Structure formats: C-alpha cells, structure tokens
Chains A and B, each alone.
Chain A
Amino acid sequence: MKITNLLRIAWRAIQRNKLRAFLTMLGIIIGVASVISMIAIGQGSKQSIQSQIKGMGSNMITIRPSSNVMGGARMENTSVQSLDEEDVVALQKQAVYINAISPYVTSRGQVINGPYNWSTSMQGVYPEYLFIRGWSLQEGEPFTNQDVKSAAKVCLIGQTILNNLFPDGEDALGKNIRFKKIPFKIIGILSKKGENTFGQDQDDVILTPISTVQKRILSTTYYQSIFASAIDENATDKAASEIQQILRTSHKLPKGTDDDFTVRTQAELISTFTSTSQTLTVLLAVIAGISLVVGGIGIMNIMYVSVTERTKEIGLRMAIGARGIDIMMQFLIEAIMISITGGVIGVVLGISATKLVTYFIHWPTLITESSVVLSFLVCFVTGVFFGYYPALKASRMNPIEALRYE
C-alpha cells in the first residue's frame, strides 16, 4: 500500500465528516494554543524579571551587617555597626575579583528648594557607586574623590527629585537645594531609570559624597552597607567568597563563629525571583498540558465511535483487498491528521493570543521555539497514542462479520 494512497483515504474520511473532525480538533486546538500562550506568558515574566535585575547591575555585590545579638535582643541590621572604613580599605587592597567598591550610608529627610519640598533619602557613596549600579548622568559631572575627602556639599539628583523641586522645568544644574538645613549644590542630574521590578522608584535618589552624610548629617563612622562590583558576571561567586574571607580577617572573627555581615550577589536575587516565575511557568504549562490530554481523549473517543460506525466500511475494504495493517494505518493516519491539523491551528491561535495579550494587557510574553516544537510533538504523540487503540480494533475485525454488521 502506497503512503500517498493511505493519506488520500484518510483525508477523504476526514472530509466526509468535516464538522465532526473540527469538533474533535477543537480539543487539540485549545490545548496547544493554551500551552503555547501560557508558556509564553510565564517565560515573558521570567525574562522581564531577569533583565530588570540585570539592569540593576548584574555584577553587583551587596555587603550588609547582619542582625546581631546585643544583650539578648536581636538588633535591626542597619543599627549594627560592623562595617567601617577599615573594611573598605582591606577590600580595596586585597580583593582581586572586585573592580569597584563603594560604601553606603543614607539619611531620610525633607529636601527643599524655595517653596518646593520632597521627602527622600540622601545617599552617601563613593564616586564608584555610579559605575557599580550602571547609572549614568544626563547632565553635569559626577563628584570626585577630592569631594569625598573634603566632605563637599555637592549632590547628584534623580529625575523624581528634579520634577518635584523644579516643577517649572528651570535649569537645576548649579542650583542649591537644602537638606537638614545644609545647602547642597546640584552638580549633576541622573538619567531616568523608571521603576524596578519591585515597584521602587529608582529616580527618587540624591547621591552625595559619603563623608558629607557621615560627618555633616549623621555624625557616624560606620557604613550601612558596602556595594562592590565583580570584575565580570561569572566572577560574582568567587568575588563574594573572597569578600567574606577578607572581612572575616578584618573583623578578627575566630573560626566557628558566624559572620557579622552578609554578602549577596545579584545572581542570588535572580535565582530567587526566577524560581518563583519558573514555578508559575510549570504550573501554567501543566494546566495547559492537561487540556491537551483531554483533547487527546476526545480524539480517542471519536475514533472509537468512528470505527464502530464504519464497521461495514471496514468489512468492505477488507473484502476488496485491504490488509489489517492497511485498515490500521488508515485510522491511525486519520487520528494523526486530525491532531496535527489541530496542532497547526493551535500554534497559530496560541501565537496570536500571545500577541493580543502583549498588545492589550501589556504583559511581557516570550514565545520560545521549544514550546512550539514541544506542543507540536505532543500533538503527534497524542494522535498516535489515542488513535492506536481504535485503529487496532478496526484492523482486527473479521471481514465476514464486519460486512454483516448493521
């Protein structure tokens, strides 16, 4: 039996029952379309979280004091004074996997420009901080190490600050704003960054030399955290363990005691958040997969009915020379054709649905080739798997009995 003849016979059989074939396909169409669009939505949210975290500086390493027990009470970690200039100097001298380092202190308060004011926090950092975060200036110049040494009253402001303190759109560069009665000269304006994944406004920021905040505002010698940048993305883990070793030595921590600080890399952050969205993707795919299986059972159901209904036809075909294998292939090909046609329509529908979701609801989506190939493969397997049993039943019929069937 030629394959073209088999295809012709199966195609004719589907044509003879167009509506039924379409209804059977519907299960597969919905199944495939939902698998593709669900995976696209899951992958899209995963990718958007990843790219936003990377946008925060994928090489970035954050060192914070850990909460410490003082007199039996666990202290809030910002009040712990375990990081200071000695640590920064030690890291600058010893660490080889780090190319930039900046301590960080912050103080909340009102920032005032004439009649306008805004509640924000003044962040004291090194000039390297801009490099570590991957931030750039829209206008002006960054402050220098000299400014840090002299505790200069200069600052860089973000877009939110600019909009709130200079609502009339006047040139802010060179102007003075006041924070806790201290005037700060604006020497640079940061580029717009927008909200991050967690809804924080990354433009609500004022950067100033760390010494200015430490000496003029907070009167402290400690740091709230230290930011560092690994030499490249792959070195973040090595850099993190190196930092841990250096700080343990610097803090003279005996072996067996806990660290009085924590070192976190962006990779950890990425994996935490992507694992959440990965779970979501798997969940969505499983639900969609179930509908695909239900679609497959629909095929089996219809093929079963079809075999019984066409018993006489099977008898006739056998009488005029069809072998058992020919009959089996006919029904199997019919089932596969239905499922693959359904699959193609489902892929088209799934991709369109995904585009519509992106267009109307603005959800990030990502159609991966693998999801298309996978759902297509599942369709084929579904067709074979659920078509096999009815086809086998058909092929084992006795032509004499089948011809006499009413």
Chain B
Amino acid sequence: MGEETVKALNDVSFTINSGEFITIMGSSGSGKTTLLNVLGCLDKPTKGNYLLDGTDVSTLSKNELARLRNKKLGFIFQSYNLLARTSAIENVELPLLYNPEISSKERREKAIKSLEAVDLTDRMQYLPSQLSGGQQQRVAIARALVNDPVMILADEATGNLDSRTSYGIMVLMQELNEVHGKTIVFITHEPDIATFSKRTITLRDGMIIKDSVNANVRNAKEVLESLPPIPDLITVAK
C-alpha cells in the first residue's frame, strides 16, 4: 500500500555550454517536463547535482531558488501565461518587479529594450486579448529576456501556434541565439522544430537515448520565406 515511486529521470548527465541552442525531444512521458522543471530550478533532483552558472542548485532553499530563477532564467510557456487585462509592457516588466535592485525607471527601459528585440514596440500598450497568438508569445519571449538571463527555457513554445507563426517564433529564437548570444533550451515533440537548433537531446523513459549536434541547421527565416504566400481569405465571389 502506498505511493508508487516513479523515476521520471534516471542517469541523465549532460552539459549545456553558453551560447548553445538545444532542443530536448521526446514523446509524452519521456521525462522532458521533469527535466525542464529541474533545469528551471522549479524542482530539485532527488539524487545527483545540477549546476547552473556555477551554482549547485540542489543545496538551495525555496527562496534562494526563486531568486535564482528571477536573475538567471527566462521562461516561455506553451500557453504564453500572460496576465490578462495587463498591457504588454507591464507583462514584460513583471519579472523585474520581484528584483528589489531595479528601479522603476530601469524597469521601464529594460522592458522597452526587450520589446524591441521581439519587434513589438508598436504594441506596448496593447492588452493580451488585443494581440494574436504569435504576438502574445513574442510578448512572453520579451518577458523571458527582460532580466537578461543566462538561459532561456521554452516549453513547447510553438505548441499552440500554426506552422507559419511557429516558424516566425523560431526566426526570433535563432536571432536571439546568434545575434544576442542567448543560451536557449527548447523543449518540443515536433522533429520539424528541432531542426532549427544546433543540438538535440532525445529522451525516452527518463533516459537520454540520443545527444547529437545537428549537421545542417535549417534557417527559419529562409523556411518562412519559402512558404507559399498566404491565400487571400476574403475573396469575394463574382
């Protein structure tokens, strides 16, 4: 009688270097969400160590973990998780509100800079309900960038978007990685999306079954441009 212990991850060991763009692949139940939780300092492994930017996370308290997430990590979620009835810029400012070292002036400046990076400066005062799915995800990406994190964690960030918008997001990801030098860990179950990253780790039943460098990384921008033009949806029959 009692709870069954399931090992979500077992014998997983890898290193992510600064400036890498990694996708973590796996079907549901493969342990990729648990891995993301550990990488995101939301969960601690029962055994083993996780070093983030030189800090051993397993010894930290809940509050110290919160502080670490606030300073060193940026999260992007499948369902965007923007605050409703709150403008784009205020959503982006949110992580900085939990950092007492940042003044309100600095906060506003950083938020604008982040929105510039995702090309949404013209939508700063818009509410999430006034933005498209792709725009909402871009606001969420700006929010993940605003604290200048050492690593950005994206959890199925294109899962709710159509392929065209997904490619748009991947264009942005590649740009953040190559131009701004951001370290990105992108969790997905779509092999198509994984081809845009430099390295792919594949999980199955809590173990790494494959960890390979992508020989030919696709350029998302080119893929997007090669798509057939958007059919004119409002054609009036004559």
Contacts and interface: CB of A to CB of B under 8 A. Distances in A.
Interface of A: 1-2, 4-5, 8-9, 12, 16, 312-313, 315-326, 399-400, 403
Interface of B: 37, 40, 42-43, 62-63, 66-67, 69-71, 75, 77, 81, 83-86, 90, 94-95, 97-100, 104, 143, 147
Nearest to A8: B97
Contacts of B71: 321
Contact of B62 (A12, A312, A320, A324): A324
From A4, A316, A318, name the one whose CB has the most chain B CB atoms within 10 angstroms. Answer: A316
Nearest to B146: A320
From A316, A320, A399, A400, name the one whose CB has the most chain B CB atoms within 10 angstroms. Answer: A320
15 contacts: A2-B100, A5-B97, A8-B97, A315-B81, A316-B77, A316-B81, A317-B94, A319-B40, A320-B69, A320-B94, A321-B69, A323-B67, A323-B98, A326-B98, A400-B42
A148 to B, nearest CB: 87
Given A321-B70, A324-B63, A9 B85 contact: no
A326 B75 CA distance: 19
A325 B66 CA distance: 11
A321 B81 contact: no
Contact of A312 (B81, B95, B98): B81
B86 A321 contact: no
Contacts of B69: 319-321
B37 A400 contact: yes
Nearest to B40: A319
From B90, B97, B99, name the one whose CB has the most chain A CB atoms within 10 angstroms. Answer: B97
Nearest to A4: B104
Contacts of A16: 83-86
Given A1-B98, A2-B100, A400-B37, A319 B90 contact: no
Given A400-B42, A400-B43, A403-B77, A321 B98 contact: yes
Nearest to A321: B70
Contacts of B90: 12
List the 3 closest pairs (A to B, CB-CB), nearest first. A321-B70, A320-B95, A16-B85
Contacts of B147: 321
A260 to B, nearest CB: 83
Nearest to A16: B85
Contacts of B37: 400
B83 A313 contact: yes
A320 B82 CA distance: 12
Given A400-B42, A400-B43, A321 B100 contact: no
Given A9-B97, A403-B77, A323 B62 contact: yes
A319 B75 contact: yes
A1 B66 contact: no
Contact of A321 (B83, B85, B95): B95
B86 A320 contact: no
A323 B66 contact: yes
B143 A320 contact: yes
B80 to A, nearest CB: 10
Contacts of A403: 77, 81
Contacts of B86: 12, 16
Nearest to A313: B83
A317 B42 CA distance: 12
A2 B63 CA distance: 16
Contacts of A313: 81, 83
A321 B37 CA distance: 14
A2 to B, nearest CB: 5
Contacts of A8: 97
A313 B147 CA distance: 19
B43 A320 contact: no
A323 B42 contact: no
A384 to B, nearest CB: 23
From B62, B69, B71, name the one whose CB has the most chain A CB atoms within 10 angstroms. Answer: B69
Nearest to A319: B75
A318 B66 contact: yes
B42 to A, nearest CB: 5
Nearest to B97: A5
Contacts of A321: 66-67, 69-71, 95, 98-99, 147
Given A320-B95, A403-B77, 8 more contacts: A1-B98, A317-B94, A319-B75, A320-B98, A321-B69, A322-B70, A323-B63, A400-B43
A405 to B, nearest CB: 11
Contacts of A12: 86, 90
A1 B102 CA distance: 10
Contacts of B143: 320
A400 B36 CA distance: 10
A317 B84 CA distance: 13
Contacts of A5: 97-98, 100
From A9, A317, A325, name the one whose CB has the most chain B CB atoms within 10 angstroms. Answer: A317
Contacts of A400: 37, 42-43
Nearest to B82: A316
A186 B140 CA distance: 98
B142 to A, nearest CB: 13
A404 B145 CA distance: 22
A317 B77 CA distance: 13
Contacts of B42: 318-319, 399-400
A394 B62 CA distance: 15
A316 B62 CA distance: 15
A319 B41 CA distance: 9
Contacts of A326: 66, 98
A12 B71 CA distance: 23
A319 B94 CA distance: 11
Contacts of B97: 1, 5, 8-9
